[in-house]
């Protein structure tokens, strides 16, 4: 998206002439369509308001407030004001009247990577650029719209939209000096629990730690078996091993990429009877089956209703790895609430991402919630230096909570935009016979962490990725090596061919750029490139 910075004289003119000249009105229209982002500096607004006082018939504060519904405010750190004042003192040709201009230019240069500065004094220079007239700006934009690099995940546009809330929330934390598990963390936990509709949300330092907290609170450890999918991020099985338990892999349903309930029952029975109907890890004979760790891959919940029935039949507890699925749904229940404990991640690129590490566990069970809260802070007992059990340090810090709180406001709207983007991809790609677009079964909703599709075979996937790469469009492969074939899990003794569905999917799958701010123009470009890839 193109960034345009407006000077105070443009703002003033826009107020006086009901959004200004034709060119300025066009700029506002482009901003409403989210084709460009308009910015200005708080000091430019102040200056504009002061000028408008000379026009008594209008209410300057009200008119400016209306404009600021569309125009974003640049961050205004105090240090820039000091630098600008120093600059004026050093340069006799500048005066205090130049302050709003200097500050706008400095803030734009520091915060926005590339931008066009629009003002009535076209041609006026500032370090790193010069002022364009609104008409010139439109000409320049015409040639540039949607030509910039296409990010795989766009965190910047979201940041631009929620900047005031981010600034205010982060400042509250700085001011409070309560940096770890502060009031923001409590507030966030409440909001998260409300959102997914569950009794307890326990925030923690990452999605990986969330899985560890869940396993530890259920007292799962050495000699315990945890059934899980080999088609997931390493952290799922890594957490099982970290607590000393053994992952028992179960193949996926290739339509949803999630754990196959039919295979799950076969695996449980094979482990119980010691038969060869299902590949088992080495030393399976000594293992006690304890849990099923489901994964809601790419944002789509696993089939928890069927998995829960099977787990209950054999006395196993279900833990849900919803690291990619915050916001997803199964039969009217939100992801994170679909097992005894649900775990999610706030890694920046996940659907709800922090600006650092973070995660959370969810449960209806008060005793488990209390145990997880204790393990999160070194197994704390009833007071700080009394310890009930072995724990770890897995706390969330207040700054991450403050950022997540700001993002929670836009999260439902973003989720809807992701769903729209997914629908658009599927519509655009449905005629491409060699590609298999992802499905969402009836009664389910995906959080669309990724839009992953299947090529005809490995060669076709290479061709698709190559064609997109040539046009500057990034793609990813989640996941190229199934977990049972990873070097780290060689001691488990699995071999190629053990989980054929997973192995086949891993050869054919790839993911397209996916985020709430994907433009339809970009999606059309991507689809057009894929349509032209030869699948023979």
List of residues contacting ligand PLP (CB under 6 A):
206-208, 232-233, 235-236, 295, 321, 323-324, 345, 347, 359
Element (H, E) at 369: helix 366-376
- Dihedral sign from CA coordinates of 297, 303, 308, 313: negative
Angle at 162 between CA 157 and CA 166, to 5 degrees: 120
- The half-sphere exposure of 39 on its side-chain side, counting CA atoms within 13 A, is 28
* Least distance between ligand PLP and beta carbon 349 (Å): 8
- Dihedral sign from CA coordinates of 372, 376, 379, 380: negative
Report how far residue 324's alpha carbon sits from residue 210's, in angstroms, rounded to the nearest whole number: 13
Report how far residue 175's alpha carbon sits from residue 188's, in angstroms, rounded to the nearest whole number: 18
* Least distance between ligand PLP and beta carbon 344 (Å): 8
Task: Please say which residue, 347 or 489, places its beta carbon nearer to ligand PLP.
Answer: 347
Q: In what order do the strands lie in the sheet with 224-228?
A: 200-204, 359-363, 341-345, 317-321, 288-295, 224-228, 246-249
Contact 204, 360 (CB under 8 A): yes
Task: Please say which residue, 60 or 207, places its beta carbon nearer to ligand PLP.
Answer: 207
Q: Which of 259, 359, 243, 269 is nearest to 300 (CA)?
A: 259
Task: Give the three-class secondary structure for 188.
Answer: helix
* Least distance between ligand PLP and beta carbon 497 (Å): 24
Report how far residue 410's alpha carbon sits from residue 30's, in angstroms, rounded to the nearest whole number: 21
Task: Please say which residue, 130 or 242, places its beta carbon nearer to ligand PLP.
Answer: 242
Task: Please say which residue, 36 or 483, places its beta carbon nearer to ligand PLP.
Answer: 483
Radius of gyration of the chain (CA): 27
Report how far residue 76's alpha carbon sits from residue 11's, in angstroms, rounded to the nearest whole number: 18
Task: Please say which residue, 20 or 359, places its beta carbon nearer to ligand PLP.
Answer: 359
Report how far residue 227's alpha carbon sits from residue 217's, in angstroms, rounded to the nearest whole number: 17
Q: Which of 90, 87, 148, 94 is nearest to 116 (CA)?
A: 148
Task: Please say which residue, 30 or 323, places its beta carbon nearer to ligand PLP.
Answer: 323
* Least distance between ligand PLP and beta carbon 76 (Å): 33
* Least distance between ligand PLP and beta carbon 412 (Å): 21
Report how far residue 336's alpha carbon sits from residue 329's, in angstroms, rounded to the nearest whole number: 9
- Backbone dihedral angles phi then psi of residue 423, each to the nearest 5 degrees: -60, -40
Tally of helices (H runs) and strands (E runs) in the chain: 18, 20
Task: Please say which residue, 71 or 196, places its beta carbon nearer to ligand PLP.
Answer: 196
Element (H, E) at 247: strand 246-249
Task: Please say which residue, 359 or 391, places its beta carbon nearer to ligand PLP.
Answer: 359
Task: Please say which residue, 345 or 523, places its beta carbon nearer to ligand PLP.
Answer: 345
What residue number has its CB nearest to ligand PLP?
A: 207
* Least distance between ligand PLP and beta carbon 153 (Å): 13
* Least distance between ligand PLP and beta carbon 404 (Å): 13
DSSP character for 286? G
Task: Please say which residue, 20 or 353, places its beta carbon nearer to ligand PLP.
Answer: 353
DSSP character for 491? G
* Least distance between ligand PLP and beta carbon 181 (Å): 18
* Least distance between ligand PLP and beta carbon 264 (Å): 17
Task: Please say which residue, 103 or 297, places its beta carbon nearer to ligand PLP.
Answer: 297
The residue assigned the tokens 């500050």 is: 103
* Least distance between ligand PLP and beta carbon 476 (Å): 12
Report how far residue 203's alpha carbon sits from residue 216's, in angstroms, rounded to the nearest whole number: 15
* Least distance between ligand PLP and beta carbon 409 (Å): 22
């Amino acid at each position: 998206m193109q960034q345009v910075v407006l000077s105070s004289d443009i703002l003033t003119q826009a107020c006086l002439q009901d959004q200004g000249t034709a060119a300025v009105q066009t700029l506002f229209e482009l901003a409403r369509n989210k084709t460009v982002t308009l910015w200005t500096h708080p000091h430019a607004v102040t200056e504009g308001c002061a000028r408008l006082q000379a026009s008594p018939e209008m209410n300057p504060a009200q008119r400016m407030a209306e404009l600021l519904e569309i125009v974003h405010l640049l961050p205004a750190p105090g240090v820039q004001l000091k630098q600008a004042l120093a600059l004026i003192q050093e340069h006799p040709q500048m005066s205090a009247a130049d302050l709003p201009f200097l500050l706008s230019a400095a803030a734009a240069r520091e915060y926005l990577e590339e931008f066009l500065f629009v003002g009535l004094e076209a041609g006026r220079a500032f370090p790193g650029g010069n002022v364009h007239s609104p008409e010139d700006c439109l000409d320049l934009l015409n040639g540039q719209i949607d030509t910039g690099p296409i990010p795989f995940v766009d965190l910047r546009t979201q940041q631009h939209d929620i900047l005031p809330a981010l600034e205010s929330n982060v400042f509250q934390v700085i001011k409070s000096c309560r940096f770890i598990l502060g009031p923001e963390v409590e507030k966030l936990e409440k909001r998260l629990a409300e959102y997914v509709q569950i009794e307890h949300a326990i925030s923690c330092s990452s999605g990986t730690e969330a899985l560890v907290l869940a396993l530890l609170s259920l007292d799962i450890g050495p000699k315990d078996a945890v059934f899980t999918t080999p088609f997931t991020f390493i952290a799922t099985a890594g957490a099982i091993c970290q607590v000393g338990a053994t992952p028992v892999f179960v193949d996926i349903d290739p339509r949803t990429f999630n754990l196959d309930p039919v295979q799950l029952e076969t695996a449980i029975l094979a482990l119980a009877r010691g038969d060869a109907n299902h590949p088992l890890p080495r030393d399976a004979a000594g293992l006690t089956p304890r849990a099923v760790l489901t994964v809601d891959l790419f944002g789509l919940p696993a089939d928890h209703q069927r998995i829960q029935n099977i787990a209950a039949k054999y006395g196993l507890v279900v833990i849900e790895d919803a690291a990619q699925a915050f916001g997803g749904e199964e039969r009217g229940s939100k992801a994170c609430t679909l097992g005894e404990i649900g775990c999610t991640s706030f890694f920046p690129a996940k659907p709800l991402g922090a600006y650092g590490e973070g995660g959370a566990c969810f449960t209806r069970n008060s005793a488990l919630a209390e145990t997880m809260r204790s393990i999160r802070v070194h197994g704390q007992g009833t007071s700080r230096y009394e310890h009930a059990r072995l724990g770890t340090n897995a706390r969330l810090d207040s700054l991450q909570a403050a950022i997540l709180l700001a993002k929670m406001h836009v999260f439902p709207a973003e989720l809807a935009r992701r769903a729209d983007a997914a629908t658009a991809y599927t519509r655009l790609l449905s005629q491409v016979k060699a590609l298999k677009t992802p499905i969402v079964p009836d009664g389910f909703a995906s959080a669309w962490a990724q839009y992953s599709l299947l090529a005809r075979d490995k060669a076709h996937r290479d061709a698709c990725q190559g064609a997109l790469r040539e046009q500057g469009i990034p793609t990813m492969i989640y996941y190229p090596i199934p977990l049972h074939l990873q070097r780290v899990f060689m001691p488990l003794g699995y071999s190629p061919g053990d989980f054929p569905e997973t192995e086949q999917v891993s050869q054919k799958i790839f993911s397209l750029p996916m985020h709430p701010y994907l433009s339809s123009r970009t999606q059309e470009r991507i689809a057009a490139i894929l349509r032209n890839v030869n699948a023979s």
